[in-house]
Structure 1
Amino acid sequence: MSQPTHPQLATSAAIFRDGKVLLVRRARSPGKGFYSLPGGRVEFGESLAEALAREVMEETGLVIDIVGLSGFREVLPKDGVGGHYLIMSFAARWVEGSPELNDELDDFQWVAPADLGQYKTTEGLAAILAMAQDLAG
């Protein structure tokens, strides 16, 4: 599959449950081997909230309550390799379900935000998580 030639809009969720946040490890590119937040591309005609709820359900099997926008991250191609993504990140609370692994994710962890440094994470995750934690309370 070739990379799109224009920026892609995506969403991600910092999902909090009992004082911990859900990290998922990507099983394929982009981000293979890195822990990140669940999420994915926004489809045409879909609101950010609809896309986020759908992507989280598809990736993890979780139902969430979206609290609010916690920031954004822009991923640019490096040396002409990779895609260009604008990722709108939201704070959310777990409602129901248990995380499930699939072809996109090969591990998940509920992590205390203070322990984030023990994981190989995507760039900018700590800053997004700090803002999300303030929103989620």
Structure 2
Amino acid sequence: MTEGSRHVPCVGGILFDADGRLLLIRRGNEPGRGLWSVPGGRVESGEDDHTALVREMAEETGLSVSVGPLVGSVERGRYRIADYLCSVEHPDGAAGSLRAGDDATDARFVDAAAFAALPLVEGLTETLDGWGVLPRI
């Protein structure tokens, strides 16, 4: 937790593929074990949000990303999560291969129908809808 704050700083990545599908991971640990969410995690000591997000995306999805603008932030219990729009670092294929890793048990791009059918972490649909970043197809 940051000094003077009761919240643990966290980051999340919002990444779409060329078809407008949204990248989600299935959480392997609490909170939300077994539920689907955008990839991300805690900001480690000495990291800024962008550094933490690049690390978390690589660990959880195998992808190298560039971090774009802040889309929004939410508080979930003791966690304050800043979600950023991301893009694949090297669209020519050198960005890595999508694979689940670290505390993710699965990782995939989902369209709107798949998104609606998955068991999601609490508040994800409403939050992403409010920010206008639901899967585009």
Which segments of 5 or more consecutive residues in structure 1 lack a partner in the other structure?
Answer: 1-5, 77-83
Please state how far the C-alpha of 1:114 moved relative to its aligned partner.
Answer: 5.4
* Structure-1 residue corresponding to 2:81: 87
SS of 1:51's equivalent in the other structure is: helix
SS at match of 1:57: helix
Q: How does 1:42-121 map to 2 (within 5 A)?
A: 42-76=43-77, 84-95=78-89, 96-113=95-112, 115-121=114-120
Please state which structure has a larger fraction of its residues in strand: 1
RMSD of aligned Cα (Å):
2.2
Give the unaligned 5+ runs of structure 2.
1-5, 90-94
- Distance in 1 (CA, whole Å) between partners of 2:116 and 2:40 is 21
Equivalent position SS for 1:133 = coil
* Structure 2 residue 9 is the aligned partner of structure 1 residue 9: yes
TM-score, structure 1 as length reference: 0.79
Deviation at 1:62, TM superposition (A): 0.7
In the alignment, the residues of structure 2 paired with residue 126 and residue 93 of structure 1 have an alpha-carbon distance, to the nearest angstrom, of 21
Query: Alpha-carbon deviation of 1:109?
Result: 1.9
TM-score by length of 2: 0.79
